[in-house]
Structure 1
């Protein structure tokens, strides 16, 4: 496994002892130490002791490495309450899931994996990037996300990102800077026997976990790590396997509550030309778009979208598009920051519900800055007519009462 500094680190295991029974010396300046897998039969990874320390099971924490940011230690192989999450008979090592509460630690471990499929991992990437950008004293402010996604392919005010992720409903479940009280955030990643990350989850504050695809061998321990959750956001291809794993291991029945399509822009198709033009919203437009935000929320009772998340952050990075007629703004549409070459078009609203022109304009702008322009929607046909194609489904699984 390669750490953020480019050094190989041990994903899990125990030091291999020399023939005399002692741990091989690595020298004061560090060096390479071979690790055995839990059954003690073969080396699984190597640890560069120069500036890195092994976690309790498999996490690693950077020491003082010149030119690199430092992140806290990882509570590896344990669930979010500190209990051992693995099923291995060897306590203390050999557990493939690592968890933490710090998004920077998570991204140091799992960002490369998430970036291998920016389309399939869109929700995790944008959630984690936004949380990193808004974490005090950390993160790259150029990274972020937008939570209110979808709808706006034609006529309508609302998107549907939150419901698909298992994180709310209505127009989407946005967060912004939520209070720390009751903050139940958590992050996890699974590594195979060679220390390669192969699955992950993100639990944004006050929202259920959102999963990547999860290999069969990682599912039982994932159930332990996420014990007690009542709602999950999963890739549609994994819905049956995840529900089956929960039922077999805990007796808990998870059923599909919501399903929505993730669509990718292939080539924007021009519709009927509407009068007006698009422009990027600025701080001077804040009073107007804040008013629209409140109208949007009033139409979606129970939606948890946050003003800072939907309006203020996009204003900072130029992610809000306005449609003007005769110089007067009549509609808005937002997009997430670009993460791993991907962005999602989102949060479309117009007082008269006519969002077609502004949505198309936002898509055109997004295509100029990102390789992958995405939308989460329940209306695949409408988006197909605009030049999108369906990639996959996101499904919300919920515990049967």
Structure 2
């Protein structure tokens, strides 16, 4: 594997012409790149993109935005080393990829640059198998959030972000939540008790994110009910892959998602380079 088997461009149209089919070929594994690259395509881009291959044979890709970790699809150790060599001289704050790929690239980058690599983020990816509503279903129903619900959506997204220790965005408009659709679970007296967001469908994939229930209402089945609601809506809209991420250390949420039909796919790690 040679470093010049990697091709780079700042033109997202060129990147998609070469790597778009491969990007869409694994919609679950490529969930974050699919939604991020679609946003960059429609809203403008300041990023570098790359793909691995010769001719029409593409087997991997990456993209890098200023002040963000490098995002890489699944690579072998040899391919990770070749990419690190190809990017030598570029300033990287870190890398996010499937566990083995992230570790291999970090090791190669450390050899080349001397930078220390510190794992700071780990998430587990699930894909929906057979949707299985929990029993019993809590009293109430799902309701898609409307414009008048915006303040509550923002407030609960901020609370979710604080719970998972996620840094705030500069504003709602540029946050990762702004372009999602949100659904509430409401009790019979029309009180919202839980909320789930979902991405727009890209490449047949919809990602459920975030799922939030206020602390004093947890353990009553509301999170499972609203997750089923948005998952069912995604399937009804034609999604072939409905996915979500969890913190692997959160045994409660992992058990919940497995009960309603989500199946583990793979884990991702984010390393910061110091």
TM-score by length of 1: 0.57
Q: Which has the higher helix share?
A: 2
Pick from 256, 267, 274: which aligns with 2:138?
A: 274
Q: Does 1 or 2 have the higher relative contact order (CA < 8 Å, sep 6+)?
A: 2
Contact 2:81 2:105 in 1 (8 A): no
Rg comparison, structure with higher value: 1
Give the equivalent residue in structure 2 for 1:397.
Answer: 271
Displacement of 1:103 in angstroms is 3.0
Contact 1:189 1:198 in 2 (8 A): yes
Contact 1:332 1:358 in 2 (8 A): yes
* Alpha-carbon distance in 2 for matches of 1:320, 1:99: 36
Pick from 191, 196, 208: which aligns with 2:57?
A: 196
* Alpha-carbon distance in 2 for matches of 1:129, 1:282: 24
Other structure's SS at 1:313 match: coil
Deviations 1:207-250 (A, max 9, x none): 21111012455434421316431310011232443233224434
Give the equivalent residue in structure 2 for 1:26.
Answer: none
TM-score by length of 2: 0.81
Give the equivalent residue in structure 1 for 2:259.
Answer: 385
Other structure's SS at 1:114 match: helix
Where has structure 1 moved over 6 Å in runs of 4 or more?
none
Displacement of 1:373 in angstroms is 0.8
Pick from 15, 24, 29: which aligns with 1:115?
A: 24
Q: Is the counterpart of residue 261 in structure 1 residue 124 in structure 2?
A: yes
Displacement of 1:255 in angstroms is 4.4
Q: Is the counterpart of residue 368 in structure 1 residue 243 in structure 2?
A: no
Displacement of 1:347 in angstroms is 1.4
Contact 1:345 1:366 in 2 (8 A): no
Relative to 1, partners in 2 of residues 1:381 and 1:105: Cα closer, same or farther, differing over 3 Å?
A: same
Other structure's SS at 2:131 match: coil
Long gaps (5+) in structure 2: none
* Alpha-carbon distance in 2 for matches of 1:213, 1:299: 29
Pick from 60, 71, 91: which aligns with 1:228?
A: 91
* Alpha-carbon distance in 1 for matches of 2:267, 2:92: 21
Structure 1 vs Structure 2 CA RMSD: 2.6
Q: Is the counterpart of residue 289 in structure 1 residue 153 in structure 2?
A: yes
* Alpha-carbon distance in 2 for matches of 1:277, 1:200: 41
* Alpha-carbon distance in 1 for matches of 2:156, 2:120: 29
Give the equivalent residue in structure 2 for 1:206.
Answer: 67
Displacement of 1:128 in angstroms is 0.4
Deviations 1:18-52 (A, max 9, x none): xxxxxxxxxxxxxxxxxxxxxxxxxxxxxxxxxxx
* Alpha-carbon distance in 2 for matches of 1:297, 1:99: 34
* Alpha-carbon distance in 1 for matches of 2:10, 2:124: 29
Contact 1:263 1:390 in 2 (8 A): yes
* Alpha-carbon distance in 1 for matches of 2:7, 2:202: 23
Q: How does 1:2-401 map to 2 (within 5 A)?
A: 95-135=4-44, 185-192=47-54, 194-204=55-65, 206-215=67-76, 218-223=79-84, 224-225=86-87, 227-271=90-134, 272-297=136-161, 299=163, 303-305=167-169, 307-308=172-173, 309-314=175-180, 319-325=181-187, 326-351=189-214, 352-354=216-218, 355-369=223-237, 370-378=239-247, 379=250, 380-399=254-273, 401=274
